[in-house]
Homo-oligomer: A and B are copies of this chain.
Amino acid sequence: MVRVRMDLAYDGTGFSGWAAQPGRRTVEQTVQSAWGTILRAPRPTLTVGGRTDAGVHARGSVAHLDVPTEQWQALPGRSNRAPAEAATRRLGGILPDDVAVRGVQEAPAGFDARFSALRRRYSYRLQDRAQGGDPVRRHETVRLTRPLDVERMNEAAMHLLGLQDFAAFCRRREGASTTRTLLRYQFAREQDGLVVATVEADAFCHSMVRALIGALVPVGQGAREPHWPLQVLTSGTRNPGVTVMPAHGLCLEEIVYPPEAELAARAARTRARRD
């Protein structure tokens, strides 16, 4: 078997999220089908570093798959290309316009797209002037009716950083830990009417980014005090004052992995902690 790393980007608008679901168009199934076609084999299993919900975009997603050596070596056909390059090109010819495989490579030893990851970075785009904004990018921007005070939001966001139990911001899943390390949570006014949030953590539980943004928007609009999001966090339970924000403002920007020598150790550590 050859373990293959694949970097990909997609417009989430036309997908019911990453994870395969019967009867729905999903990124996972779309990419699996393309691999099945170029390998002339049944759809392979994909492991992704960041599962995204319906409507969420990705510019820096990473997945892996294991390909039987014989199928891998058959990829170039009669061309002189290396199998990874042949795969990249052939996937590009098959995939629809809303998914792009940015690169395919033989993964270094110990690589696991999910468990080797050190951290994930998301962005969230907010338009805070009713008549402002960029209609060309409306598919990736959420429109608010009241302006945001970015400084006030950053003051509040800072208090959420670090190793914490994010149960208040997670959709609960039986037996799963909700403890995460929030490494970065910042808002920046990129232009008049546009605020972009950057959220980075070792990992995220379900709906966590969208709930974190939903906890900070009322602070930025003056409806809540800057210490309120921390109060919600420490309460440990979901708060009806926190809106889970719409999916289309969210984009998975990057998944960061350690240097090659540390990949296997990192994966072992992550697995141990999750069990």
Which positions in A face B, CB cutoff 8 Å?
A: 9-12, 57, 59, 88-89, 91-92, 97-103, 130-140, 193, 251
Contact = CB atoms under 8 A, between A and B. Distances in A.
Contacts of A130: 89, 92
B9 A134 contact: yes
A136 B11 contact: yes
Nearest to A91: B131
A91 B131 CA distance: 9
Q: Is the interface of A mostly helix, strand, loop or mixed?
A: mixed
A97 to B, nearest CB: 6
Contacts of A92: 130-131
A138 B251 contact: no
A221 to B, nearest CB: 18
A103 B129 CA distance: 10
A99 B134 CA distance: 9
24 contacts: A9-B133, A9-B135, A9-B136, A10-B135, A11-B135, A11-B138, A12-B136, A57-B136, A59-B134, A59-B136, A88-B131, A89-B130, A91-B131, A92-B131, A97-B138, A100-B131, A100-B133, A102-B131, A102-B132, A102-B193, A103-B131, A136-B139, A136-B140, A137-B137
A135 B12 CA distance: 9
A57 B137 CA distance: 11
Contacts of A57: 136
A193 B101 CA distance: 13
A135 B96 CA distance: 10
Contacts of A136: 9-12, 57, 59, 139-140, 251
Q: 9 tightest A-B contacts by CB?
A: A92-B131, A11-B135, A11-B136, A57-B136, A98-B135, A100-B135, A88-B131, A92-B130, A10-B135
Contacts of A103: 131
A25 to B, nearest CB: 14
A165 B161 CA distance: 59
A3 B237 CA distance: 56
A88 B129 CA distance: 11
A24 to B, nearest CB: 19
B91 A135 contact: no
A110 to B, nearest CB: 26
A18 B92 CA distance: 34
Contact of A138 (B98, B102, B135): B98
A98 B99 CA distance: 23
Contacts of A140: 136
